[in-house]
Structures are given as structure tokens and as C-alpha cells.
Structure 1
Amino acid sequence: MIWLTWRQLRTQATAVIAALAALAALLATTGPHLAGLHTTAGHGLVQQLSPTDTTLYFVGGVTILLAPALIGMFWGAPLVSRELETGTHSLAWNQGVTRTRWLVTKLTLTGLTAVAATALISLAVTWWSSPIDQAVAAGGSDNTDNFVPRIDPAIFSARGIVPLGYAAFAFALGVLFGIVIRRTLPAMAATLATYTAALLTMPMWIREHLAPATTVTVPFTHDRMANYLLDSVSHIDIGKPDVWVTAEQTLDATGHPAHAMPPAYTDCESIKSCIDALAKAGYHQRVTYQAADNFWPLQRAETGVFLGLAVGLGVLCVWWTRTRLLKGSVQ
């Protein structure tokens, strides 16, 4: 059964290995130069990046984000649906192989291969990008060049170990849709839509609660104001370039949420006078953020969430195959 599963997987596996080899060669060639540049430039590295380095930085991040989705669509969804569409599953079950063993073997071998491939890609991209991430964390980005700290949602999912959890989840999700829908193309579409929804839901509503957040209250000063509107303050600089700000709220002089800005602020004629108006009125900004030290706790927690979901989906795949799929066939 293992040999048969490998024969069915070898085409996809060969293509992935070739792509991995090409990516690894490219990163290995340019990575030492980037590390050396960081040694000499320090936090000024971002301003000295070549167009090639910048392109590789963003391409690497996009590759990590796309890999689990592609695995779910092209490895997970067809794994069983293709067998159901062609009817070859019945032949396998009548050769002394139970449907449970058949599915578990496919899930285990293909799933582990998918996770291993994603781990190698993530390891390579994380290693190559580490000098840039260190420079950004030290304040080397001016927030206009699209380089953000690694704990920021824009790049967090393309670093560390969390892509492994995504790959396992996307693969198991694809297999489940393939079993339930029994048609490959609709299963691929459902996998992509559901995985994308999960990927967006995590940073928007869940991730910030996976590790203790820090809340500070800071006064309004000229060097802290990053963005303001006539009726509110949308962002203030807390002097920590390597954090992920999850919430901000303007407080009045009593320490309560401000329902209106002071009159002097709404009538101010310059940025300086606006800031002075807020400071004189005793207004402060309450900022909640995830500190840089929470990067790995968040990585471990989120990976655990998606690995747990993957295991649950795998169990559901086995249950559905045993009890719902072609009920009455050989067990």
C-alpha cells in the first residue's frame, strides 16, 4: 500500500523537489551576501537592498503563503476524489486492503511529505530573510517601504514553523472536501475558499489572543504622532518598531475613552498646534500590542491550533470513509 501510494505521489513529489532545489540554490547563493551586508549596515540594511534582494524578499513570503493552499488543492483534494471519480477505490478495497488502511496510508504518507516540503521552504525563506527582519526590528524601516516586523500579520504567516500547521490543515481540508464532494474540481475550489477564510480569520480575530498582550498609555508629543484626523487619532508611535499593535484608543483627561476631541484640536491650523491642543487637554493614547518576544509563543500556539484542526479533519475523513462513503462496501 505504501509503494502504491508513493507511485501515485511521485510526480507531484518530483516537481516539488525540483522547485525546492531551485529555490534553495537561489537563496543559498544570495543569502551570505545579505548577511554580510547586515553586518556592515546594521539597521540601515533595508535602504541598501538591491532590487533583486527586495524581489526575493517578497517572492519568498508569497511562496510560503501560497504553498499550503496549493498543497490542499493539488495534493489533498484529488487524493480520494480522483479515486472515486475513476472507480479505482473499489479495486483497491477488493484486494485485501480495508478502506481504513487505504485512507490512513494515503493521508500519512502524502501528508507528511507535504508538511516536510513546506518545512524546508519555510526554513530556507526564514533563514534568508533573517537579516532583513533583524534590521526592521531595530528600526530600519520607515513604514513606507512595505518592510514590517516579523510579528506583523503581513509577514508572520511566512516565517518560522506556522506554515507547517497551515500545510497540514490545508491538506487535510482538501482530502475531506474530496471525500464529501467526490469531484476533484469542486473540491479544489472549496478547499481554496475555506483555507483562505481560515487564513484571514486567524490574524483578524484569534491570533492576538494566543499570547498575553501588553497595554501602555502614552502622551501626545511631536515625536510620537504618526497619524491623526480632525475627529480622532488613528495611530501613535510608541517607540517600539518591532511590535504588532492590535488596538488603540484615545483617552480624555479623566482616563476614559474620548467621545469627542477638544475644541482646540478641531480648530487647529497646523500639526504642531493640533498636538499641543491634545497635550494641553490631557489626552492620552492607550495602545495594546503584541511584543516581539511573543513571536515564538504565537508561532507555537498557532501551529498547534492548525495541527489540531488537521488531526480532527483527518479523523473526520476516516469516519466519513468508513460510515458514509459507499455504505455497504467492503470494510
Structure 2
Amino acid sequence: MIWLTWRQFRTPAAVVYGAIAVILGALAATGPHLAHLYETRGDRFLDSVGGFEANLYVVTTLALLALPALIGMFWGAPLVTRELDAGTHRLAWTLTTRTRWLVAKLGLIGLAAVAAAGLLSLAVTWWADPIDKAIAARSGAPGPGFLIFPRMSLEIFGSRGTVPLGYAAFFFVLGVIVGVVVRRTLPAMAIVLGLFVVTQIAMYTQVRSHLLTPEHLTTTITARNLTSINMFNHLTVVVNRPGAWVLSQQTVNAAGHPVTVPSWVLECPGSGPKSQACFAKLTGLGYRQLVTYQPADRFWSLQLTETAIYLGLAFGLAVLCVWWIRRRLS
């Protein structure tokens, strides 16, 4: 059964692992140079990152963000539905049990999916470490070009560390169960893509920030740390916590209650003695900015916790898939 599964799967595996091999070669060729630049250029490191490295940074990040969705769509969704459409599952079930048939498929291809995501993630995490450190050190100041996202952000978090392994396992098994239930390959692929987008957004906005109790920081509002005032007089300030994931900001009064700043703050000049006096008056009235955030040093704790959640969900879906094949399919 394992041999037959491998025969059916070898072409998709060769395509994915071939692409990963090309990326790994580029990372291995440029990684030492990038680390040397980081050690020698200091604060000017980000300005020294060349066009090829910049493009490689973007490509590898996007590849890792997209890989779990592609695995779910092209490896998971057709895994069983292809056999159901062709009717070959009935022949396979005469040679072995349904459970062994499905477990062999889930085990072999699931391990290949996790290995692909893990290998690429490990390499990208190593290669991009100097860039991630330099971005974090800027404490919220924008970097040149694309280099503006810390590794705790939505754009980067899923392309580093261990979470790509969890994503790959979960979305692969999700693709399988969706295919089994829908029993049509193309609709199943479309559903998996939609679930991927919804799941990732929900994890970032509703779950990840609560995996660990966030910390709070109360800071004065000055011309130097103020970044914006919107039409509702809500302020945003730069947080002096390098690489932190800022969850929310709100202005509070001397009693600690959320408020909006007085309208005259809009007319405070950007610099000079008048600006200092204006913001000193704001501070004297008791206005402060309350920031809720996850510190940068919690990156690996969040990574491991989220990875465990996705692996647990993947196991639960695998059990559901086995039950469905045994009880609901004929």
C-alpha cells in the first residue's frame, strides 16, 4: 500500500521538493554574505541588503505563507476524491482494509508535507535571522523598501520557526476531509483555499494574541513618539519595545479611563518650543497612551503553542477522516 501510494504521489512530490531545492541553494549561497553584512555594517545593514537578497526575502516569505494552502489544495483535497471519482477505491479495499488504506496515504503524504514545510522554514528562519533582528532593532521605524515587518507580524510570523509544520499538517488533513465530504476535487480545492484564508485571519485576530497574557505599557505622548491622529482624535505612538507585537493602543486620562484627546492637540506644531509646551500641557492634564502588546521575546513561546494547536487539530481531523471513510462511504 505504501509503495502504491508513493507511485501515485511521486510526481507532485518531485515538483515541490525540486522547487524547495532551488530555494535552498539560493539561501545557502547568500546566507553567509548576509550574516557578514549584519556583523560589519551595524545600523546601516538594512540599507546594504541588495536587490537579489531583497527579492529572495520576499519570495521565500510568500512561498512559506502559501505552501500550507497549496499542500491542502493539491495534495490533500485530491488524495481520496481522485480515487472516489475513478472508482479505484473499491479495488483497493479488496486488497486491504479501509483504515490501513487511508492511514498509509495520510501517513506517507502527511509526513512529506510536514517535512517540506519544516525544511523550508528551517532554512528561511536561519537565512532571514539578520534581517529580522535588524528590523526589530528599529523599534517601529520603517525600514527601506519591503523591510518593514517584524517577525511577530501577520506578514512574517507564519513563515518562520515551527508553525509552518503545524500549518502543513493541518491544512493537508483538512484538504483530505473536505474532499471526502464534498467528493468533488475542484470544489474541495476552492473550499480549502477559503478555509485557509479564514483560519489564518481568525488565528491572528482572535486567538494568537490570547495564547499568552499580553503586557501593558503606559507612556507619555510627545511630538517624537506620536505617529498619527485620526479623524476621531485617536492617537498612535511608537512603542519603545523592539520587535513587539502591538495589539492595541488607547489614550487614557489620569484615572486610567479611555478618553479622546482634546481637539487642540491637532494644532500642536511638530517641533520646537511650542510643540514641547503643547505636549507638556497634555501630559500635565494626565493624558497617557496605554499600549497592549506581546513582547518580542515571546516569539518562540507563541510559535510552539500555535504549532501544538494545529498539530492537535490535524490529529483530530485525521481521526474524523478515518471514521468517515469507515462509516459513511460505500
In the superposition, the TM-score normalised over structure 2's length comes to: 0.94
Q: 1:211, CA displacement in angstroms?
A: 1.4
Name the structure 2 match of 1:100: 99
Unaligned runs of 5+ residues in structure 2 are none
After TM superposition, list the pairs within 5 Å mapping 1:168-317 onto structure 2: 168-229=169-230, 231-258=232-259, 260-266=260-266, 268=267, 270-272=269-271, 273=275, 275-317=279-321
Letter in 2 for 1:320: W
CA separation in 2, counterparts of 1:141 and 1:130? 17
CA separation in 2, counterparts of 1:271 and 1:281? 20
Q: 1:235, CA displacement in angstroms?
A: 1.4
CA separation in 2, counterparts of 1:140 and 1:28? 29
Q: 1:230 to 1:197 in 2, by over 3 A?
A: closer
Question: Which deviations, in whole Å up to 9, do the C-alpha atoms of 1:209-232 show, x marking residues without a partner?
Answer: 111211011111222212223542
Letter in 2 for 1:314: A
Percent identity of paired positions between Structure 1 and Structure 2: 49
Name the structure 2 match of 1:152: 153
CA separation in 2, counterparts of 1:44 and 1:297? 30
Name the structure 1 match of 2:13: 13
Letter in 2 for 1:284: R
CA separation in 2, counterparts of 1:292 and 1:111? 31
- Further displaced range: 226-235 or 84-93: 226-235
Question: Which deviations, in whole Å up to 9, do the C-alpha atoms of 1:221-248 show, x marking residues without a partner?
Answer: 2222122235423311121231000011
Does residue 48 (structure 1) correspond to residue 52 (structure 2)? The answer is no
Q: 1:288 to 1:279 in 2, by over 3 A?
A: same
Name the structure 1 match of 2:329: 325
CA separation in 2, counterparts of 1:184 and 1:33? 45
Q: 1:261, CA displacement in angstroms?
A: 2.4
- Further displaced range: 224-233 or 155-164: 224-233
Determine if contact 1:213/1:290 at 8 Å carries over to the other structure: yes
Determine if contact 2:242/2:296 at 8 Å carries over to the other structure: no
CA separation in 1, counterparts of 2:218 and 2:82? 57
Name the structure 1 match of 2:86: 86
- Further displaced range: 24-33 or 268-277: 268-277
Q: 1:277 to 1:230 in 2, by over 3 A?
A: farther
- Further displaced range: 203-212 or 278-287: 278-287
CA separation in 2, counterparts of 1:225 and 1:296? 30
Unaligned runs of 5+ residues in structure 1 are 327-331
Q: 1:275, CA displacement in angstroms?
A: 3.3
Q: Secondary structure at the match of 2:196?
A: helix
Determine if contact 1:230/1:265 at 8 Å carries over to the other structure: no
- RMSD of aligned residue pairs (Cα, Å): 1.6
Determine if contact 1:43/1:136 at 8 Å carries over to the other structure: no
Runs of 4+ in 1 over 6 A off after TM superposition: none
Q: 1:243 to 1:92 in 2, by over 3 A?
A: same
Name the structure 1 match of 2:64: 64
CA separation in 1, counterparts of 2:168 and 2:86? 27
Determine if contact 1:262/1:281 at 8 Å carries over to the other structure: no
Letter in 1 for 2:32: P
In the superposition, the TM-score normalised over structure 1's length comes to: 0.93
Letter in 2 for 1:218: T
Q: 1:182 to 1:39 in 2, by over 3 A?
A: same
